Amino acid sequence: MQVVSISSLKGGVGKTSVTLGLASAALAAGIPTLVVDLDPHADATTGLGVTASDKPGIGEMLKNSRRAQLADNVVSSGWVANDRRTRTAGHKRQPILDVAMGSAFSGIYDRPDLGKRDLKRLSTLLGRVSGYGLVLIDCPPSLNGLTRIAWTASNRVLLVAEPGLFSVAGTERTMRALELFRKEFAPNLAPAGIIANRVRSGSNEHTFRLAEMKQMFGDLLLTPTIAEQANWQQIQGAAHSVHHWPGESAKQAASTFDELLKNLVETGTVRNRVIRRAG
């Protein structure tokens, strides 16, 4: 089970949108996936079409991490019904896209002074979970407690950036913070790469910043980049999977996320094999 945190220390770069796009690609690929919505705003939960539930959110489960059973309290994404209708009769495996719902209560852990015991709360919950090939954790845009909890529970961290000055600088700070965190708390944690989001092909500024990012981060800058899409807010507002949204632009976006997910899964599998052999 690969556990990947989707992070950025700068807000507004489309981190949750990338989480939803990768979740959509995983559903289309038939990879059993769990999305952990660790952002107290719970936008990923809304975008995944989760209806109101009397089950506890992730904040309440973090508080009771020693006793809570995450598997008993996840809910199925509203996208799953659409995926079932579009699958052919030859697909026997039922699609799985579950959500550990976002919760404002999780904000009690979003502070900078958490001890090691608190940092392991999500790890404890995920340690009792099986049946998923991929776990995506949508983090808040900060390096406070919730992001550190997510990184402690993860194998890798996927960074999201826009090709702009402030976002590129924020990504560099995140990389430094990730390296310091890895040395102190999580020696097996590694960056999964950096996704450039909302790229405008006709923008000289974006072209310049992408070249700058390539020089700064090398192979960590993943391809393909994600093009700016005019109807993305409409897709999310409808709580719809991009893979089931009509139109050529949505089709192209879905193809981009398919390729990014393939790279993410394949590189993670190779890395896990190397770690096992080294151990």
Residue 94 CA, chain-centre distance (Å), reads 22
pLDDT band at 52 (very low <50, low <70, confident <90, very high): confident
Question: Does position 76 have pLDDT exceeding 80, yes or no?
Answer: yes
pLDDT band at 92 (very low <50, low <70, confident <90, very high): low
Question: Does position 39 have pLDDT exceeding 90, yes or no?
Answer: yes
Once rounded to an integer, what is the mean pLDDT over residues 115-141?
96
pLDDT tens digits along 97-121 = 999 999 999 999 999 999 999 999 9
Question: Does position 164 have pLDDT exceeding 60, yes or no?
Answer: yes
- pLDDT in the model for residue 265: 87
Question: Does position 149 have pLDDT exceeding 50, yes or no?
Answer: yes
12 vs 30: which has the higher pLDDT: 30
Once rounded to an integer, what is the mean pLDDT over residues 147-159?
97
- pLDDT in the model for residue 68: 94
Lateral strand order in the sheet of 2-7: 75-76, 97-100, 33-37, 134-138, 2-7, 156-161, 190-196
Q: Which of 85-89, 113-117, 177-181, 219-223 is the least confident region?
A: 85-89
Q: Which of 166, 175, 249, 164 is nearest to 208 (CA)?
A: 164
pLDDT band at 91 (very low <50, low <70, confident <90, very high): low
9 vs 136: which has the higher pLDDT: 136
Q: What is the pTM of this model?
A: 0.93
pLDDT band at 210 (very low <50, low <70, confident <90, very high): very high
- pLDDT in the model for residue 110: 96
pLDDT band at 162 (very low <50, low <70, confident <90, very high): very high
- Secondary structure of the chain in HEC code, one letter for each residue: CEEEEEECCCCCCCHHHHHHHHHHHHHHHCCCEEEEECCCCCHHHHHCCCCCCCCCCHHHHHHCCCCCCHHHHCEECCHHHHHHHHCCCCCCCCCCEEEECCCHHHHHHCCCCCCHHHHCHHHHHHCCCCCCCEEEEECCCCCCHHHHHHHHHCCEEEEEECCCHHHHHHHHHHHHHHHHHHHHCCCCCEEEEEEECCECCCCHHHHHHHHHHHHHHHHHECCCCCECCCCHHHHHHCCCCHHHCCCHHHHHHHHHHHHHHHHHHHHHHHHHHHHHHHC
Question: Does position 93 have pLDDT exceeding 70, yes or no?
Answer: no
- pLDDT in the model for residue 87: 59
Q: Which of 80, 133, 130 is nearest to 262 (CA)?
A: 133
- pLDDT in the model for residue 59: 96
Q: What percent of the chain has pLDDT over 70?
A: 92
- pLDDT in the model for residue 139: 96
- pLDDT in the model for residue 270: 44
Question: Does position 89 have pLDDT exceeding 60, yes or no?
Answer: no
Question: Does position 277 have pLDDT exceeding 60, yes or no?
Answer: no
- pLDDT in the model for residue 62: 97
Instruction: Classify residue 219 by burial, with Cβ atoms within 10 Å: 0-12, 13-18, 19+.
Output: exposed
